[in-house]
């Protein structure tokens, strides 16, 4: 099963996207509809709302007077929190029941208007944002929905801005053109990404890099991509992980790299990553099951050649991800952070490393031999990084 979060600002056309995904075969969960279901006549939540805010909020027909409730809680932070304490647990319970009832090979799309505002990116294997500039959305609300302009502006201002939505998006669906253009984009998303993503997850297939070694110019979106993936791992692992970080070359601004996002998970013991419950939670946010791996041992007096770790990856066909699971009582995780931070700080080190990458690409080396071919350079670079750490007082950040 693949879980996708779908969102977009008011007037973006998000409902059109969810409708098309449903036509293609997705199981679509409408957050607004679920929120209405939990306060239907006779529902326990409706009785609690009446007890807390007043019986006048229930009509003679036994239904919730939504405009009246909005007037009560609008601008009253305490009242809003009380309302959420009543409705949110029931919304979550109903949503979980619907997800649990979906087929195991389903693509489940959660249409949730406040995905960004509620910081829910970590809950899904993929986030899709319908992207429309604010001025276009304003025009649609006024001209097509008949809203007063000031009311439309207020509704837009109450939501996340375009910049925040774009930072949260794995997939940005532009919708400033025609309906046919939007439907075509949704169809390509479905067949090229969502369907193979679900199959990869269900079959435990990690997306692998090509054997044709390619190093590309730095992509300014790499940090945001890393942040979204880190959020998913943190949500899945919770307090089972001591820390989760974006590491490797894509975490170093200005450094050319393979287009692969490397992440590090630090756990009390590696056996945590062998637990079935942990593997299930990783699968829910788009990752395959961890497998055994190792790192080169570094540092004087280690007395070892290798340090054990766990390795796994992502199942998204559009993004190669490598995740390194390392034990908190070992040195490998600190070394990974040290090398990242040293390269971020030391321009000469970045230049040296970039030159090595260019030489290896020019040699025709296949990707599978690339990491091992860099080992002599890392062996020489490690003492330089240690000297830098001692000089600067470096320590792993929080």
Q: What is the 3-state secondary structure (H, E, C) of 235-277?
A: HHHHHHCCEEEEECHHHCCCCCECCCEEEEEEECCHHHHHCHH
Give the end of a domain, one of 177, 206, 231. Answer: 177
Query: Residue 116 sits in which domain range?
Result: 1-26+106-177
Q: Residue 74: which pLDDT band, with cuts at 50, 70 and 90?
A: confident
pTM tops 0.85:
yes
Residue 250 lies in a domain: yes
Same domain, 153 and 244: no
Q: Residue 303: which pLDDT band, with cuts at 50, 70 and 90?
A: low
Structural domains in the chain (count): 2
Residue 262 lies in a domain: yes
Check whether 363 has a pLDDT greater than 60: yes
- CA 395/CA 398 separation, integer angstroms: 9
Residue 36 lies in a domain: no
351 labeled part of a ligand binding site = no
- CA 20/CA 14 separation, integer angstroms: 10
Alpha carbon 350 to its chain's center: 28
Q: What is the mean pLDDT of residues 146-151?
A: 78
Give the end of a domain, one of 154, 177, 200. Answer: 177
pLDDT tens-digit readout, 242-294: 999 999 999 999 999 999 999 999 999 999 999 999 999 999 999 999 999 99
> What sign does the CA torsion over 243, 245, 248, 252 have?
negative
Contact present, 79 and 57 (Cβ < 8 Å): no
Same domain, 173 and 262: no
Same domain, 249 and 309: yes
Residue 359 lies in a domain: yes
Same domain, 250 and 382: yes
Same domain, 163 and 226: no
Q: CATH number for the domain including 249?
A: 3.30.460.10
Q: CATH number for the domain including 137?
A: 3.40.50.300
Residue 200 lies in a domain: no
78 labeled part of a ligand binding site = no
- CA 92/CA 118 separation, integer angstroms: 13
Same domain, 147 and 2: yes
15 labeled part of a ligand binding site = yes
Give the end of a domain, one of 177, 209, 237. Answer: 177
13 labeled part of a ligand binding site = yes
């Amino acid at each position: 099963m693949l879980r996708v979060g779908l969102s977009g600002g008011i007037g973006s056309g998000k409902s059109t996207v969810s409708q098309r995904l449903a036509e293609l075969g997705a199981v679509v969960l409408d957050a607004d509809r679920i929120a209405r279901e939990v306060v239907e006549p006779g529902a326990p939540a409706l009785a609690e709302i009446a007890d807390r805010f007043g019986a006048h909020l229930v009509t003679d027909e036994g239904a919730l007077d939504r405009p009246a409730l909005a007037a009560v809680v609008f601008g009253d932070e305490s009242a809003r929190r009380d309302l959420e304490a009543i409705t949110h647990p029931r919304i979550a319970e109903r949503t979980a029941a619907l997800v649990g009832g979906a087929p195991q090979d389903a693509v489940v799309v959660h249409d949730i208007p406040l995905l960004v505002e509620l910081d829910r990116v970590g809950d899904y294997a993929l986030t899709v944002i319908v992207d429309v500039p604010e001025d276009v959305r304003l025009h649609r609300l006024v001209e097509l929905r008949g809203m007063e302009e000031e009311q439309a502006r207020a509704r837009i201002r109450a939501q996340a801005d375009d910049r925040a939505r774009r930072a949260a998006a794995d997939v940005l669906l532009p919708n400033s053109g025609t309906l046919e253009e939007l439907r075509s984009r949704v169809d390509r998303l479905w067949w090229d990404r969502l369907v193979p993503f679900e199959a990869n997850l269900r079959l435990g297939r990690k997306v692998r890099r090509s054997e044709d070694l390619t190093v590309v110019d730095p992509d300014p979106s790499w940090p945001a991509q890393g942040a979204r993936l880190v959020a998913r791992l943190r949500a899945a692992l919770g307090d089972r992980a001591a820390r989760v970080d974006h590491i490797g070359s894509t975490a170093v601004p200005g450094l050319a790299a393979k287009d692969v996002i490397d992440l590090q998970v630090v756990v009390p013991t590696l056996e945590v990553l062998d637990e079935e419950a942990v593997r299930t939670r990783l699968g829910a946010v788009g990752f395959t099951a961890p497998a055994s791996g190792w790192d080169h041992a570094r540092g004087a007096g280690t007395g070892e050649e290798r340090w054990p770790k766990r390795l796994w990856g992502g199942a998204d066909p559009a993004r190669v991800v490598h995740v390194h699971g390392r034990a908190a009582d070992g040195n490998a995780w600190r070394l990974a952070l040290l090398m990242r931070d040293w390269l971020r700080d030391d321009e000469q080190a970045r230049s040296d490393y970039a030159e090595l990458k260019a030489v290896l690409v020019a040699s025709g080396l296949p990707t599978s031999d690339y990491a091992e071919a860099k080992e002599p350079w890392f062996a020489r670079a490690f003492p330089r990084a240690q000297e830098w750490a001692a000089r600067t007082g470096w320590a792993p950040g929080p």
